[in-house]
Amino acid sequence: MLVQMLLLPLYLGLFIAPELFDVIDVTPFIEAFLLLILTPLTLAAITQYLATRFAAARRVMELTEALAVPLMMATLALVAVVGTVT
């Protein structure tokens, strides 16, 4: 999946007119990729690595696993509320 996201500009170049890249500002897409994809993925990898070595990190990982569904529900509720306001 990560490779697909990295290859997306190439795919867009194949299927869309190359002039479109002159119109589109890629900076927001790069920022979103770094903030929303790469940062959580990196933190998860670090947490998993540390959980094999330290009990405290293992407890953090267990807590985040237990809170995954409630946090996702809270995120969806927030998106729904913000979506109705704007």
Q: What is the pLDDT of residue 70?
A: 95
Q: What is the pLDDT of residue 8?
A: 79
Q: What is the pLDDT of residue 66?
A: 94
Q: What is the pLDDT of residue 15?
A: 80
Encode pLDDT of 8-55 as tens digits: 778 877 887 777 777 878 788 889 888 988 899 999 899 899 999 999
Structural domain spans, the chain: 27-86
Pairwise CA distance, residues 79 & 68, whole Å: 16
CB 51 within 8 A of CB 60: yes
Confidence of residue 5 (pLDDT cuts 50, 70, 90): confident
> Is the pLDDT at 86 greater than 70, yes or no?
no
